[in-house]
Structure formats: structure tokens, C-alpha cells
Amino acid sequence: MGPPGGFVRQGRHDKMSRFVSAPDERAERVRRLWESPCAAFWEFRPQGREKRAMSERREVSRRMFLRATAAAGAAAGLSAFPIPAAGSVLGANDKIAAGVIGTGGRGHYLIETVNKLKAAGKGVETAAVCEVYQKRLQSACEKAGLAKEAAVVDYRQIIDRKDIQAVVVATPDHWHATMTLAALKAGKDVYCEKPMTYTIEEAREVADTVKAESRILQVGGNSNSEDGWSKANELIRKGMIGKVVLTTAHHCRNNREGQWNYPIDPDANPTKNLDWKAFLGPAPYRSWDPDRFFRWRKYWDYSGGIATDLFYHQLGHLMVALGAEFPKRVSANGGIYVWHDREVPDTFTMTIDYPSNHTVILVATMANETGVVEAIRGHEGTITFEEGGFKVRFEPVITGPKDEIAHKNARGGDAYEHMENFFACMRSREESVFPADLGYKVMVAIGMGVLAYRRVRTLLWDARKQIVIG
């Protein structure tokens, strides 16, 4: 599916997606988006090569905003826990108030998770929700048990609230960096769903900002909360399996409807109950398309497809086991072989070579459930990851006969454990299990995979300049 007539993609290569947009250009768009005092969102329209014009600012009433903020803050103040200001040091008895931005399926699930943590006495609660589709917004408000004033369309109303310490970003990928950076600079800690950002350049900026602002960030790759990955890293560092040479992992799925073909709600109407301009945000302008709204992972404007949705999970926890590093060289292959209703491939593979002389191969298809074993192979043995733990099997030709070693995870890897870790780190100020620096390294490899596929070439990473070559 090509761009509408007259539209030319921005960036260094016209045929490329915004994955290759010039960093300075995108940073300037994000700066304008945030700093404008009255525009809730900007609309970018195609007007010639490498230009986008602004149009139609939607005014936000200051008095309405103040009333909504005050009402929501008063509602939050009924908690038994004291409410610290954003950016202040949290005590063990201080309540953590979270604002959730993006209340689709994942956002709803995270609200449910916060509810469970609250019921377990963890001192956390959802204080506000933000969503561009009113039907979802109302549902999220009810699920969180909030007054209607705590439900907003403009995400900045959440970031501006002084009584909110944590921001949960569960929007489409192309919004992650804008919202995360705004929250970090406002003195808030951030739980951002994977991928951490949409582009490599954005990931670097987020990692730098986390350090500069001394904030806590957790990328929403739940499996990183399993203790097995750090245990595997311990064994590897001790030389248990010898020199690591090859790692494989997969994420294969199959269904009758096609991956990411979520139901389209016939009630959604951009003239009545849905802010389409707010959904697009910094993405290229498109006329209303319900498929793009409800099934956005199929389109390059908002997602990297398999790479950013699924491989980011796999590589995130594998980097914990292997020891995080930037890649040296990345290639990718695949195509649209079954589901021809999309722009992103339904079958995709990546090969990542690392400076430590080790290769990772990631395999996925959305048209068959049979995958490959998730394993780290060394010269003297192999760590095979299985449900709830892993096993170490040795290479008898090198080590001689040796009994296998089994590890059972003591900690699971679902959203409850992952958000629990995030909120605990907000109190302790210790690094989370999926911090921004790791998120950056993972995004470099994942982003290079998307670029390699779209450019049909192998790419290199310049570690000194931190840029993609090729």
C-alpha cells in the first residue's frame, strides 16, 4: 500500500520509511509538538518533497483543564497513602499515582495489573487515563475506578499533573518517544511498552534523558522479569558453556484472521468520538482509515511489524543472558507470503553479529506456529530455554560425559512482576530489569533489522559515532 498522491516520505531516502528520518528533523517536530502552549496535537500534511505543513490546532481550554486536574487530584487524594509530588523521593508508605496513556487492549491490561498491585497493598493506583477514542477512554476510566474528570484526550494533561509520579505509555510505537521524553523531563518515571521507541535516534535520546534527569524507566518486555536470564548470564560468565558462538530464538504464530487483524469497532467515528489527528501525531498525514487505527501494527508509519512487536521481546531478555552490547552487523530477510493486507512482512528473519564474535538469529512467521529452539550455544555446551526455566547440556566431544544442569525460575515474567519491579525501583531508585540503556542497545539491533529489510542490504553499526552505516 503506497502513500497517497503527492506525498513524499521524509528522510535520507525517499523510498524509505520514517525509520530513516533525519534525527534533527524529527527532534524539531517533537520539540514543536511539546512546546506549543495551545495546540493539543499537530497535524502534518504532505506539501512537496521533504516538507510537512502544520494545520488546524485544537485549542485546549485552560479553565477546563484546571477544573479537570483539580477534580482528579482531589479524587486521588482520598487514598490512605500520602501523595508526594512528581520528582520527589518516595518513601515506603508513599502512594505512587500512575497516569496511563493509551487504553487499547494493552493499556486496559496494564490498568488491571495496577489494580491487582493496589489490592495486594503495594501502594500504587491509577490516577488518570488518556485515550483518543472516547469509547475506550470511558471503559478505562471505569476499570480504574476514576471520576470522569480524570479521563483526558490530551496526554499533556497527565504529564502536567504534579500529583502523578509515574507515566505508563501504552500507545502505538510512533508516539512512544514523544510522550516518554516529555514525562522524563517533567520529573516523572516511565513504564513504556516495548519497543522503547520507534527509531534508533529516539532510543538514544531517551537513554540520554533518563541519565540526565536521574529517572527510572522500565521497558515493557515482561520476560526480563524472569530470573533465569540473569542466572544464565552468571553461568556464561563463569565459562560453563565455553565461548558463546550462536544463539537462536523465534516467535511464530498462526491464526485464521491474520496476525494483528484485531476487530474493528463500527462505532468509531472521527467526526464524533475519535480524535484521528491525535492518533497520527508525528506520523505522516493520512485520511481516516479504521484499519490503520485498530490494526496499526501492519503499517510502517506506526510500527516495525514483527521486529518491534515480537523480536524486541526475544532480544531484550537474550541481551540479559548474553551481556548487552551494540551489534556489529545486521541483515534481514522475509516477505509478505500469506497475509497480503499489510505493509510489514508476515515472515521475517534477522541475523545479528556482535563485536564479541557471536551471532544471534531471530526467526518468525505469522503463518505457522512451528518455531526453532531458543538456545545459547557455546563451544562446550548449550543453554536451552524451556517453559519456566532452562537446561544446560554439554558437548561430550569437548567436555567428556557430564550431567545436564537444570534451572527453574523463581520469578515469573508476566506484567504483574514487571510492573511490580518498576514501582519498587521508583522507591529504591535502583535500575529496573529492562532499563533505558538496555532498551537502546536492543533498539539499535531491531531498528537495523527493519532498515536492512527495507533497504535490501546488510548494515553496519559505527560504535564510535553511534550511527548506522549502509
Which pLDDT tens digit goes with each residue over 171-226?
Answer: 999 999 999 999 999 999 999 999 999 999 999 999 999 999 999 999 999 999 99
All cell numbers assigned to 249:
530464538
What domains, with CATH codes, occur in the chain? 1-59+264-294 (no CATH), 62-221+423-436 (3.40.50.720), 225-258+302-417+443-469 (3.30.360.10)
Q: What is the pLDDT of residue 429?
A: 97
What is the average pLDDT across 269-278?
98
Q: Which of the residue ranges 77-91, 172-186, 264-278, 339-353 would you say has the lowest mean pLDDT?
A: 77-91
Q: What is the predicted pLDDT for the residue at 15?
A: 33
Q: What percent of the chain has pLDDT over 70?
A: 80
- DSSP letters of 251-275? -----SS-TT-PPPPTT--TTTTB-
Torsion-angle region of 243 (φ positive above 0: left; ψ -120 to 50: alpha; else: beta): beta
- Residue 256: which of 348, 366, 105, 363 has the closest Cα? 366
What's the CA gap between 458 and 393, in Å, rounded? 33
Mean pLDDT of 80-98: 68
> Among candidates 132, 60, 102, which has minimal Cα distance to 276?
132
Whether the pLDDT of residue 334 is over 60: the answer is: yes
Q: What percent of the chain has pLDDT above 90?
A: 80
Contact 398, 377 (CB under 8 A): no
- Residue 331 predicted with pLDDT over 80: yes
What pLDDT shows up at residue 91?
A: 63
Question: DSSP character for 351?
Answer: E
Q: What is the pLDDT of residues 205-219, one digit of tens each?
A: 999 999 999 999 999
Q: In what order do the strands lie in the sheet with 347-354?
A: 405-408, 389-394, 381-386, 375-378, 244-250, 358-365, 347-354, 329-335, 459-462, 467-469
Q: What is the pLDDT of residue 82?
A: 54
Per-residue pLDDT band for 270 (boundaries 50, 70, 90) equals very high
pLDDT for 81 equals 52
* Model confidence at 106: pLDDT above 70: yes
Whether 469 has a pLDDT exceeding 60, the answer reads yes
pLDDT above 70: residue 13? no
315 C-beta neighbours (distance < 10 Å), count: 27
Give kind and range of the element (H or E) at residue 373: none
Phi, psi of 250 (to 5 degrees): -145, 165
